[in-house]
Amino acid sequence: MKVRNFVNSLSRYISPAWLAVLIVGIPAILLLFVPPINGLADNGDYFMILNSNDLYIQNPDNYQYNSYFQNIYGIRQFYNETTTGFLSTGQLFITVAIWLNKLFFSSSLFDLRFLGLVYLAALLPAIYLLTRALTFGMKKSRGYISAVILGFMFGDGMYIIYFNSFYPEAAAYIGLLYFAAVLFYFFRVKTSVYGFSICMLVSVLVFIGAYRQFLFLIIGVVIAAAGLLTYLSNRTQQLTLIATVLGLTGMFVTLYALTPDITYDRDVYHSVNRGLNLNADSPEEILAEGDVNPQYSLLRGTSYYDEFSPVPLSSETLKADLINQTNYLWITASYLLNPQELSKLLTLGVQDMYLVKPNELGNYLEKDSREAGQKTHFFALFSQIKAAAFPKNFGFFLLLAAVILFVYGIGFYQGLRKKERWLCFRFFIILGLFVNFFMTFIVAVIYTGDADFTRHLFLTSVYFDLILLIFITDMLGGRFWSDERRSVE
């Protein structure tokens, strides 16, 4: 009775959706904007992004890579003739942040906190929509429980800290949450196929367009959209959806073909030496199988940026005999011939997935740090629980996928039998999320091996949390095999 009275009193002042927004928003403000402010240090990748947005490092001689977060950068006052050609939807957020920075702070200096502000302002509506959709039809008490879980999951400091950085994962994070929110909101709360098509188009553009490596994730989007065809009965709506999905797919294929891969040499080098051959028992045999000089097995475990290497990294011989002799198709074929090496990398990747943010990057300004590379764990309870409680074996995810897809598969069957189309559509949503979860793992391994593994596996953590959240809220709402839609608000 006391719990019911508390929930009834709480509902007079705040809804579950707004509660989730507060749980995410308040700690995020403290993390990003209240001294000592936190962010991610530059691992060397900032140059491409800065140069493409007319920003620059002010004091390159004293600039601290990896060790310290830095928030002030220069704004170019002249035309930049040396653009790197880096393309990302994250640049849209950076453009808005620079405009606000010039309006309220300076026209010559850029404070990275303005970018954090833009990201946070974009995130909170996604949190509201996602919570509103997932708690729709629940009892009030369970709706608030779901909101608290969601807030701790997606307001986790290990996610939010990316907002005070130039890494494109922040844009991908926001876009993916909007994509999930749109899928559930428009078909559980407010049915609107045309509104859904527009919002899906924008959200998919943001999260897949954030990084070239993410372009393959259109596969999961297509699977989820294909399931939507089971939901729609109007032919015009079906054609609208098909046109939207085909347009997105064609655009991403074109972008992948036309966008220059400016880090290709580095990524292939890492994929071979920090991936395929990293833990191989006979790396020289793997190279020989692919008609590559087996002597390059000496490079196993080295980085493209190592100052000293068995083979000079700038040599034309290395480029001709290793980089040009291998490519992503060659690497994929080598993994198929040596599946044990893929298994080793996937198991290694699971441990990095739980970290969410790179462990080698400092999170504090130099003036606020007790030591180089100091980390923050502010409001990171959920990521810490996840890292401690869940198995560190890739087989766990295969088993988890089988169990969850079986549960929702029964719902799919019930949906067909009872003609509850939402249950059918929801199965395809879960399937699409799982496909992209595994795709992100595979693509990260093939593209760069274990180099910067945590960042490249960032979205696997987001997909995992989304799937877990949907499963928990459906369990709390008793919605595995039924289609209840009573509003709690």
Nearest to 361 by CA among 165, 116, 98, 91: 165
Peptide bond into 36 cis (omega under 30): yes
Please give the single-letter amino acid code of residue 26: I
In the predicted model, residues of the chain with pLDDT beneath 50 are 486-489
- Please tell me the pTM assigned to this model: 0.93
Q: What is the pLDDT of residues 335-375, one digit of tens each?
A: 999 999 999 999 999 988 988 898 889 999 999 988 988 99
pLDDT of residue 250: 83
Whats the size of the chain, residue-wise? 489
Contact 7, 33 (CB under 8 A): no
Q: Count of CB atoms within 10 A of residue 284's CB?
A: 17
Ranges of H-type helices in 272-338: 283-289, 316-318, 328-337
Which residues, listed in sequence order, are joined to residue 56 by a DSSP beta bridge?
74
- Written as six digits, the tokens of 379 are 């409001």
Q: In 3D, which of 187, 219, 176 has the Cα closest to residue 432?
A: 219
Distance separating alpha carbons of residues 205 and 196, to the nearest angstrom:
14
Give the tokens for residue 235: 């032919």
Could you say which DSSP state residue 85 is in? -
**How far is Cα 52 from Cα 339, in angstroms, rounded to an integer?**
39
Neighbours of 421 (CB within 10 A): 18
Q: What is the per-residue pLDDT for 1?
A: 55
Question: Which pLDDT does position 86 carry in this prediction?
Answer: 74
Q: Are 458 and 175 in contact (CB under 8 A)?
A: no
C-beta of residue 163 within 8 angstroms of C-beta of residue 32: yes
The predicted structure's pLDDT at residue 2? 63
Cβ proximity of 232 and 409 under 8 Å: no
To the nearest 10 degrees (0 to 180), the angle between helices 394-418 and 421-448 is: 160
Q: What is the dihedral of CA 212, 214, 219, 225, to 10 degrees?
A: -110
